[in-house]
Amino acid sequence: MTISAKPISGFKEFLPEEQMLFNRMMDVIRRHYELFGFAPLETAAVERNDVLLAKADEENRKVMYGLHILNSANPALVENVKNYSLHFDQTVPLARYVAQNYGKLHFPFRRYQIQKVWRGERPQGGRFREFYQCDIDVIGDESLGLLHDAEMPAVIYGIFSELGIGKFIIRLGNRKIHNGLLEDLGIPLHYNVKRSIAPGPDWDGEIVEDTKNTLTLIDKMYKDGIEETRRAFHDDVGIPEERIDELLSFLSHKDDVHATLKWLAAQNRNDMFALGVSELTEVIDHMQALGIPSNCYGIDFGITRGLDYYTGTVYETTLVNHEAVGSVCSGGRFDDLASTFIDRKLPGVGISIGLTRLFDALQRSGAICTGAHCPTKAVIFNMTPSLRHEYFAMATALRAAGIPTEVYLEDKNINKQTKYAVNKQIPFGIFMDEKRQNRGVCTVRNYSNGDEAEVSLTQLKHHLHQL
């Protein structure tokens, strides 16, 4: 009786050829984060529940994976772990970490963090229960200049250009513009909504009242459609039709960046609105100096990000050929990272790439195809077992030259050996028998085009380096 080896739904795993590609994408992201001087940071996968709950929103609270000890006879250990859960994002751990190490960090603190996070929700199309987030944030001590907001799109531009997954648009907004606009239109920033919770086996259900951020409705405008947004503003927030028309007309404004900035500057609403316009104008001015081509970004008033957390610049990034995927890199400016944990004003700005989701979407749409199954660039075939020690020496020399090399170590016939190379898409096969050895040469087969070349043993590493 064997035990089933079937996978757990929502926990994505890859075949080696997929993992190779996934890691290559992660390496591109990491390299660009480092090119901008972001330091690596890794926090524990586990946090205390009071830490997580202090900054978790309604949705986060429901998806936390708590821990317990399965079979321990040590009551102290069992008790202790009751208060721990897996983290559901990297922002709460960052806040806790910065508060904890405040005296040892140098500000502005620039860090990147590429880790798995866990959310115990129902796995469905493109949503996972375990997935990678690739985050950068800059955290200031008491203040943080607006130039940092301009740098984030430069990082995004570098990464998505190099990933080569087609045209992308970085959409920018500023929450101060939205907040100023809502205030000007007499629309409240928050509203209450009643919600009934379905009964469970030991539980009669309940009707609860949630306070929602009005910007969430704008954030969902593209997803829910304009009519649902109109309905929600009317029925749930209680706004009269003509005000909604004015709001939706503003939000739907589409023009090139400079025309839009001019259009914004001409509006006379209130200080909050004017401040937002001035921030957005400055950020876009600096983005040009950072070399981001103007066809890679735009102003979009439908971008607000749902969370209460953001206070200024907000970003989303969409792939032009994969609109349905939604935003693949989002973030924004926030004023208060960690006041829950430290009596200190720590503003910041950051972005996050949901790599597992991005990879899955690209793969399902056929935008990426897998190639090699391993890092091996050359395999030395075991043609003549008595020459094994020569094969080992050749492999050691190639590895020392930085060329990932395998010696085929099993006693199989040469057809099985070359099939191994072909199956794993290893680019070069090296053949050496006694005859060739006596002449000081080997044969290099290039599997990408079928070419074969006789190469002097002393020239082998140069030959492979050139290919």
Within 371-400, which residues bind a copy of itself (CB under 8 A)? 373-376, 379, 388-389, 392-393, 395-396, 399
Residues 153-192: x where in contact with a copy of itself by CB under 8 A, - otherwise, as a string: -x---x----------------------------------
Contact 7, 13 (CB under 8 A): yes
14 binds a copy of itself, rule: CB under 8 A:
yes
User: What's the min distance (Å) between Cβ of 397 and a copy of itself?
Assistant: 9
- How far is the C-alpha of 413 from the C-alpha of 134, rounded, in Å? 45
Nearer to a copy of itself, 53 or 275 (CB): 53
427 binds a copy of itself, rule: CB under 8 A:
no
92 binds a copy of itself, rule: CB under 8 A:
no
φ/ψ region of 383 (left if φ > 0, alpha if ψ in -120 to 50, else beta) reads: alpha
Give which of 359, 319, 308 is closest to 175, Cα–Cα: 308
Tokens of 418: 């070359």
Nearer to a copy of itself, 234 or 424 (CB): 424
φ/ψ region of 331 (left if φ > 0, alpha if ψ in -120 to 50, else beta) reads: left
Backbone dihedral angles phi then psi of residue 203, each to the nearest 5 degrees: -160, 135
HSE toward the beta carbon, residue 250, CA cutoff 13 A: 21
Name 177's Cβ contacts closer than 8 Å, sequence gap at least 6: 264, 273, 276, 277, 280, 301
User: What's the min distance (Å) between Cβ of 307 and a copy of itself?
Assistant: 19
Q: Classify residue 397 as exposed, middle or buried by CB count within 10 Å of its CB (0-12, 13-18, 19+).
A: middle
54 binds a copy of itself, rule: CB under 8 A:
yes
- How far is the C-alpha of 13 from the C-alpha of 188, rounded, in Å? 45
* Of residues 109-128, those binding a copy of itself (CB under 8 A): 110-111, 116, 118, 120-122
Nearer to a copy of itself, 68 or 227 (CB): 68
Q: Using alpha carbons only, give the angle 243, 249, 254 rounded to the nearest 5 degrees.
A: 160
20 binds a copy of itself, rule: CB under 8 A:
yes
* Of residues 324-353, those binding a copy of itself (CB under 8 A): 338-343
Among 147, 307, 414, 467, binds a copy of itself (CB under 8 A): 147
257 binds a copy of itself, rule: CB under 8 A:
no
Count of chain residues binding a copy of itself (CB under 8 A): 122
Nearer to a copy of itself, 307 or 374 (CB): 374
- How far is the C-alpha of 236 from the C-alpha of 190, rounded, in Å? 11
193 binds a copy of itself, rule: CB under 8 A:
no
Contact 325, 361 (CB under 8 A): yes
Nearer to a copy of itself, 239 or 349 (CB): 349
369 binds a copy of itself, rule: CB under 8 A:
no
Nearer to a copy of itself, 224 or 285 (CB): 285
144 binds a copy of itself, rule: CB under 8 A:
yes
Name 235's Cβ contacts closer than 8 Å, sequence gap at least 6: none
* Beta bridge partners of residue 124, listed in sequence order: 127
* Of residues 202-221, those binding a copy of itself (CB under 8 A): 203
* Beta bridge partners of residue 378, listed in sequence order: 405, 428
User: What's the min distance (Å) between Cβ of 35 and a copy of itself?
Assistant: 4
Nearer to a copy of itself, 202 or 227 (CB): 202
Among 2, 249, 438, 466, binds a copy of itself (CB under 8 A): 2
- How far is the C-alpha of 443 from the C-alpha of 433, rounded, in Å? 10
